[in-house]
Amino acid sequence: MQQGDQAFRRGETRGRWPEMTYGGALSFLRRSYSRDLAGVDVVVSGVPFDASVTNRPGCRFGPAAIRAASTQLAELKAFPFGFDPFETLSVIDWGDCMIDPHHPMSVAPAIEAHADAILASGARMLTLGGDHSISYPLLKAHAKKYGPIALLQFDAHCDTWEDDGKRLDHGTMFARAAAEGVIDVSRSTQLGLRTFNDHDHGFEILTAPWLHRNGIDAALDLLRDRAGDAPVYLSFDIDGLDPAFAPGTGTPVAGGLASWQALELVRGLGELNLVGMDVVEVSPPYDHAEITAIAAATVAHDWLCLLAREAGAAPREVGRL
């Protein structure tokens, strides 16, 4: 039986080998590194960019940290799903999108072109950031393929502050995307917000206090009804979690979601038309014991499990779920 270093040795895009959780070549969930997109269901790639942050930097190191934190999730069948998602899904780790931070205005076009090429193959994308500005070119690429996107945004911040159409800023890009018709705000929901903006730009906003008071089921009912059958892009800013659960981020805000709340919400999205996801704003220099990176890796892993279940993976429930 083949064992170890499956990130570069296995070659196959389904299944997995035995691997030491604390050793071996790192890729996201031990998927094979590849640029061959033939027959691939999901492409994981990193965008190590953080030049548009407004407070603490460091999320350029996010993709590497999330990959490292994913090793235990590749060891056993997925919880609570009860299956190995990679028996059903063909998933590769593409590596990182090549960007030139010394020509900052070239960054967004480079990310968009990167996404265009992957989406043209028929694969879906799971992107590891990087700061939240990377979502704008990713959404533009997805809208070219699917039409206006229903955005499902986990965040402490609205990211819809005033935008002049030129700024490189991780707090304004969704206002720009909405104005350009990239996002269908009538189908979009923001969850976990706990900062203020005078304008909602048409988004449904479920603040963190509202979620704490009303619970998971009420939130899922609202966002499912709003999204309907629209193509849904999930953008998960790790600062949507409370700093107690995600200290490793650039703009932490008290009063956020607990890890269990975010995971329950993500696990409840399986009825939606999920077309893409990013996990952003993990800043390892401010993390403790990898808890932020572990949360990010788990959210991304669970989104893949939703796709595997959609593709026919049979769940097996153990215990009271």
CATH number at residue 100: 3.40.800.10
Give the whole-angstrom CA distance, residue 176 versus residue 259.
30
Residue 80, preceding peptide bond in cis (omega within 30° of 0): yes
Neighbours of 122 (CB within 10 A): 12
Q: Within a domain: residue 316?
A: no
Q: Is 195 exposed, middle or buried (0-12, 13-18, 19+ CB in 10 A)?
A: middle
Query: Strand 204-207 relative to strand 189-193: parallel, antiparallel, unpaired?
Result: parallel
15 inside domain? no
Q: Domain for residue 22, yes or no?
A: no
What pLDDT is attached to residue 1?
67
pLDDT at residue 169 in the model? 82
Helix residue spans in the chain (DSSP H) = 6-9, 62-69, 107-120, 135-146, 173-179, 208-214, 216-227, 259-267, 291-310
Residue 163, annotated ligand binder?
no
Lookup: tokens for 60? 């350029």
Residue 159 counted as an annotated binding residue: yes
Task: Strand 273-280: give its sheet, edge to edge.
Answer: 91-96, 42-47, 124-129, 273-280, 231-237, 150-154, 189-193, 204-207
Residue 207, φ and ψ in degrees, nearest 5: -65, 165
Which residue type does 285 have?
A: P
Q: How far is CA 302 from the centre of its chain?
A: 10
Q: Measured between alpha carbons, how far is 1 from 17 in angstroms, rounded to an integer?
A: 8
The pair of three-digit structure tokens given for residue 264, joined into one six-digit string: 């329950």
The answer to whether position 215 is within a domain reads yes
Cα atoms in the 13 Å half-sphere on the side-chain side of 257: 33
288 is in an annotated binding site: no
Residue 36 known to bind ligand: no
**Looking at the domain assignment, is residue 220 inside a domain?**
yes
Contact 251, 156 (CB under 8 A): yes
Identify the segments of the chain with pLDDT beneath 70.
Answer: 1
Pairing of strands 273-280, 124-129: parallel
- Give the β-pairing of 124-129 and 150-154: unpaired
Residues 6+ apart with CB under 8 A from 117: none
What pLDDT is recorded for position 228? 97
Check residue 162 and give its pLDDT: 83
Among candidate residues 127, 123, 126, the one with its CA nearest the CA of residue 41: 123
The angle, 0 to 180 degrees and rounded to 10, between the axes of the packed helices 62-69 and 291-310 is 70
Total domains, the chain: 1
- Domain range for residue 168? 32-310
pLDDT at 161: 80
**Is the residue at 2 inside a domain?**
no
Query: Residue 2's pLDDT is what?
Result: 84
Contact 187, 150 (CB under 8 A): yes
* 10 domain-assigned: no
The answer to whether residue 6 sits within a structural domain is no
State the chain's mean pLDDT as an integer: 95
- Nearest 5°: the CA angle 172, 177, 183 is 130
